[in-house]
């Protein structure tokens, strides 16, 4: 079996390639900017445009894990964000999948997003693989439309698909909001997040990689949609406390009521931050476990220790990239 990973130098893609190498599985990584020097495992990745030619990357490939995407960003500056997301994540993905089918690829593993289900859950009502309605967020909608297109393509061509919708992914090298939280804790910044009683599902990078590789080969993964999590839902307050413990630096948390936090962020024009910090987003991954016999390979606290160690090492070498707090 030979596996092609797209977005091979990205957060998820690079971890996938490292694990394929560790397991001695034949692989090829497609990336936009290959490293200097010849590497037989690496090929130039075409753009995610609908007219991209993937023939060189697909030669001799049995399984594709498609991790490349136009990623979700806060305050998107594109004139028409939905059109841009559709161009890359929907049309580009389906062009790629159709070429994969024509090249004789047996299975197409698609890294989708929990945003296909939505942004938040009510108490006792976690997300399940079945989607009640299409999402309204442009990124989530582009992924949903790609999923639907893959299902139609599979029926037409016989190409097997496996779709995985991860929630927030964290691991060594994580960026965005998770990196911001670690910086706040490291600097001892007082945070008004000591009284948040929400519940959010997360997935450690190690767990997501293991599930994606399981979906690449497991017979029961064919033509199914899977949700994934660490199996332990955390409140924002609990996450900060456990992250601080992993970093060896207890966070300075102020017990500000969630309603006040929501009001304050809305007043500042950043209500999206308040909703994310205070709202719940839970996934039910029990169907994944039943179908594939899969369980997380690392627990939350062990995963947080790995994240903290990588953060400390990066900080010591003074090469942490500057990231806006979003």
- Residues present in the chain in total: 326
Half-sphere exposure of residue 36, counting CA atoms within 13 Å on the CB side?
A: 0
Per-residue burial over 298-318, b if 16 or more Cβ lie within 10 Å, else e, is bebeebbbbbbeebbebeeee
Please say if 139 is a catalytic residue.
Answer: yes
Q: How far is CA 33 from the centre of its chain?
A: 21
The residues that bridge with 27 in the sheet, in sequence order, are: 3
* C-alpha of 21 from chain center: 21
Annotated catalytic residue within 11, 27, 85, 139: 139
Q: Which of 228, 225, 227, 233 is nearest to 207 (CA)?
A: 228
What DSSP element (H or E) covers 14?
helix 11-22
d(CA 323, CA 175): 7
Q: What is the dihedral of CA 227, 233, 238, 243, to 10 degrees?
A: -40
Q: Annotated catalytic sites, by residue?
A: 139
């Amino acid at each position: 079996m030979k596996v092609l990973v797209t977005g091979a130098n990205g957060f998820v893609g690079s971890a996938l390639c490292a694990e394929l190498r560790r397991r001695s599985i034949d692989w090829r990584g497609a990336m936009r900017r290959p490293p200097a020097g010849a590497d037989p495992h690496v090929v130039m990745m075409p753009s995610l445009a609908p007219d991209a030619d993937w023939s060189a990357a697909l030669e001799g490939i049995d399984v594709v894990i498609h991790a490349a995407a136009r990623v979700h960003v806060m305050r998107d500056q594109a004139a028409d964000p939905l059109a841009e997301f559709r161009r890359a994540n929907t049309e580009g993905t389906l062009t790629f999948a159709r070429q994969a089918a024509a090249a004789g690829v047996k299975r197409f593993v698609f890294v989708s997003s929990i945003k296909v289900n939505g942004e938040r859950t009510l108490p006792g009502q976690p997300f399940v693989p079945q989607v009640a309605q299409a999402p309204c967020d442009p990124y989530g909608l582009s992924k949903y439309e790609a999923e639907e297109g893959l299902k139609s393509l599979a029926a037409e061509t016989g190409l097997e698909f496996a779709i995985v919708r991860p929630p927030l992914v964290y691991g060594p090298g994580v960026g965005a909001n998770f990196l911001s939280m670690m910086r706040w804790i490291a600097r001892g910044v007082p945070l008004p997040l000591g009284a948040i009683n929400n519940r959010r599902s997360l997935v450690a990078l190690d767990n997501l990689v293991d599930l994606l590789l399981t979906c690449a080969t497991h017979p029961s993964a064919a033509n199914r949609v899977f949700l994934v999590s660490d199996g332990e839902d955390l409140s924002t307050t609990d996450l900060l406390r456990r992250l601080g413990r992993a970093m060896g630096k207890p966070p300075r948390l102020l017990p500000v009521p969630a309603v006040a936090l929501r009001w304050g962020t809305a007043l500042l024009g950043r209500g999206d931050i308040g909703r994310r910090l205070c709202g719940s987003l839970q996934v039910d991954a029990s169907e994944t476990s039943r179908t594939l016999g899969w369980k997380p390979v690392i627990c939350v606290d062990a995963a947080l220790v790995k994240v903290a160690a990588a953060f400390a090492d990066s900080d010591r070498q003074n090469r942490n990239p500057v990231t806006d707090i979003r």
